[in-house]
Amino acid sequence: MNYFVTLTLNGLASGAAYAALALSLVIIYQATRLVNFAQPALALLSVYTAYTVTQLTGSYWLGFAAALTAGLLVGAFVERVIIRPIARTSQLNAIIVTLGLLLVVQGGVGMVWGNEQHGFRYAFSYVGRFAPSDVFALVAVGVVALLLFALYRFTPLGLRMRAAAFHPEAARLSGVRVGLMLTAGWGIASLIGALAGMLAGPPFISPNVFDVVFVFGITAAVVGGLDNPFGAVIGGLLIGLGMSYVSGFLGPELATLAALVIVVAVLSVRPDGILSRPTARKV
Amino acid sequence: MTRPLLTVEDLSASYGAVRALCGVSLTVPERGLCAVLGANGAGKTTLLRTLTGLHRAASGRVLLADEDITPLPTEKVITRGLAHVPEGGGVVVELTVEENLRLGALWRADRRDRTTLDEVMDLFPPLAQRRAKAAATLSGGERQMLAIGRALMARPRVLLLDEPSLGLAPLITRRILDLLRDLRDRTGLTVVLVEQNAAGALSVTDHGYVLNQGSVVAEGPSAELLADDRTRHAYLGF
């Protein structure tokens, strides 16, 4: 029983990082119908920024703040300068460009910081099952999800962002600057992606550190329903739990398989994900 | 006649090689209630979309009071006092009724002031009953009310309506048309009403323009247009 509880908590903790990454994908997909394959690259930049700041100042928390800030700015910059001009030509072009961006940034990070692993300490101990760092991961993602919910539901900015995502023309006719909302959405999404990076990256970071995490993050987003933020969180936790149980009871070499089984099982019952809305819309 | 609030000068617009508007000119006085009529494809919707900048004008000008609003982006045009209810209403179905209404006033500095919201709710009792429901649950008529309500939330000087009667029962159409006139009389709102339902539109408006293939082919006081058999037969189909 005790073992089961440990596995559950552990699964939730690693699921938190997947949930955060999935959330960052869903926010952008919701607004632009675009899967942002560059998300791990943006997280990578943020985490390396944090690494550098932490090296210079000796403070993990300054680094943490730097990561989130970097995520916000880089996300907004990428949308405004790279994605928007291309999205005008075609959606597919924009998606391909995010893939290219991933490769370029990974290469660039390798050139600047080196391709070898860097030790990047946590603010908390991560030794043992359900360590303080796991608690931090769960709490951080929980807080961010709540803040995000409050932002979308209760603030004028959130209302503008939702209107711009669901019905850009109606939003413009209500005086909303839709382009600005897209930039804000990318910024917020990348901030959450940076958080995912800070949770999933340590204790060692390298240019390819998020490849595996991203696979599970995108799996979580698909499982939850690509256009539903709640689905992203649920999907992330589900993937985390599934992999934790399977690796605990059946052996860690099967953990990745668990993610695949979950995807196949969920999508065969609900092809659009657990919480997706019907795609047809009447106007 | 009072001086024009909305002036359209020689406005042209096209979709690629297809000319949708060819030199349309019209004026709407303050507190005017103006109908724009014509068959499908006559350019009525394009006219409204060009007025609010959703579609770029190829040439010509749109003046609101004395300001040239032609080059402004849509979201700026709205803040100058032009409100546009697009065809089908353009309600955001994923948002609640109240959120849709609040959205309409978000750009205003006094957006926290609830009097406009209360007024709109008073104007459309069905909306007040469903304020917390998703707009997707509304009937066609209620959606049209919501769309008009959202436009009114901006406290516009000119309200542009694109086929508010589309797909609605005659009784509800009547109620909406009467409401427009009532709004004009009570609040001094200026209204431009685009309609295929020419008889209904001419019965509440005071001036009408008839578009055909992107050009104004007839204009005059609504009563005269109603009485003019040739225009009626040729362009309005009744």
pLDDT digits (tens, 9 = 90+) for A54-72: 889 988 899 999 999 999 9
CB contact under 8 A, A176 and B111: no
SS3 call for B215: strand
Q: Which of B96, B192, B179 is nearest to B135 (CA)?
A: B96
Integer CA distances (angstroms), A213 to A171, A276, B25, B139, in order: 35, 23, 60, 45
Please check whether residue A55 touches B, CB under 8 A.
Answer: no
B26: containing domain: 4-87+155-236
Which residue from A163, A169, A177 is facing B103, i.e. has the nearest CB?
A: A163
Shortest Cα–Cα distance, A166 to chain B (Å): 7
Helices A156-166, A2-32: inter-axial angle, 10-degree rounding: 70
Chain A positions in Cβ-Cβ contact with residue B74 (cut-off 8 Å): 172-173
Distance CA B26, CA B199 (A): 20
Question: Inter-chain contact B75–A178, Cβ cutoff 8 Å?
Answer: yes
Burial of A149 (0-12, 13-18, 19+ CB in 10 A): middle
- Chain B residues inside the 8 Å CB shell of A276: none
Which residue in the set A167, A172, A281 is minimally distant from B75, CB to CB? A172
List the end-to-end C-alpha distance of chain A, in Å, as a whole number: 52
* Whether B111 and A156 lie within 8 Å, measured CB to CB: yes
- DSSP classification of residue A126: -
Instruction: Report which residue type is found at A170.
Output: A
The per-residue pLDDT for range B202-233, each reduced to its tens digit, is 989 999 999 988 899 988 999 888 888 777 77
In a domain, B121, yes or no: no
Q: Is residue B126 part of a domain?
A: no
Q: What is the DSSP letter of A278?
A: P
Residue B211 lies in a domain: yes
Q: What is the pLDDT of residue A283?
A: 43
What amino acid occupies position A45? L
Eight-state DSSP code of residue B20: E
In our burial notation (b when 16+ CB lie closer than 10 A, e otherwise), range A117-144 reads: ebebebbeebeeebbebbebbbebbeeb
Q: B133 lies in a domain?
A: no
Q: Out of B79, B89, B92, name the one closest to residue A163 (CB).
A: B92
Ranges under pLDDT 70 in chain A:
1, 128-130, 277-283
Q: Examine the pLDDT at B107 and tell me if it is beyond 70.
A: yes
- A69 closest CA partner among A45, A35, A93, A96: A45
CATH (domain of B51): 3.40.50.300
Going along chain A, which residue ranges are E strands? Answer: 118-119, 204-205
Per residue in B69-84, pLDDT (tens digit) is: 999 999 999 999 999 9
Question: Measured between beta carbons, which residues in chain A are less than 8 angstroms from residue B84?
Answer: 173
Per the domain annotation, does B190 fall within a domain? yes
Within a domain: B107: no
What pLDDT is attached to residue A128? 67
The position carrying tokens 């685009």 is B194
- Does the beta-carbon distance from A159 to B150 stay under 8 Å? no
Is A159 within 8 Å of B90 when comparing Cβ atoms?
no
Confidence of residue B35 (pLDDT cuts 50, 70, 90): very high
pLDDT, residue B194, reads 93
Confidence of residue B7 (pLDDT cuts 50, 70, 90): very high
In chain A, what residues touch B83 (CB-CB under 8 Å)?
173
- φ/ψ of residue A174, rounded to 5: -100, 10
Q: By a Cβ cutoff of 8 Å, what residues of chain B touch chain A? A: 52, 54, 73-75, 78-79, 83-84, 86, 88-95, 99, 102-104, 106-107, 111, 136, 150-151, 154
pLDDT for A261: 85
Flag whether B109 is in a domain.
Answer: no
Please, which residues 175-194 of chain A have a Cβ atom closer than 8 Å to chain B? Answer: 175-178
d(CA A132, CA A120): 16
State how far the Cα of A72 lies from the Cα of A187, in Å rounded to an integer: 4
Q: Is A271 near chain B, with CB under 8 Å?
A: no
The terminus-to-terminus CA distance of chain B in angstroms comes to 30
The dihedrals phi and psi of A276, each to the nearest 5 degrees, come to -70, 155
Domains located in chain A, CATH noted: 14-269 (1.10.3470)
Q: Do the chains contact at B54 and A172, CB–CB below 8 Å?
A: yes
* DSSP state string for A24-53: HHHHHHHHHS---TTHHHHHHHHHHHHHHH
Domain for residue B99, yes or no?
no
Chain A: residue nearest B160 by CA? A173
Q: What is the pLDDT of residue B225?
A: 87
Nearest to A177 by CA among A161, A153, A154, A156: A161
Q: What total of structural domains would you count in chain B?
A: 1
Q: Is the ipTM of this complex over 0.85?
A: yes
Q: What is the mean pLDDT of residues B106-115?
A: 83
Taking residues B19-25, report their average pLDDT: 90
A118 touches chain B (CB under 8 A): no
Cβ distance B90 to A170 less than 8 Å, yes or no, reads yes
Q: Over chain B, what is the mean pLDDT?
A: 89
Rounded to whole angstroms, what are the CA distances from B136 to A147, A154, A240, B30? 26, 20, 35, 35
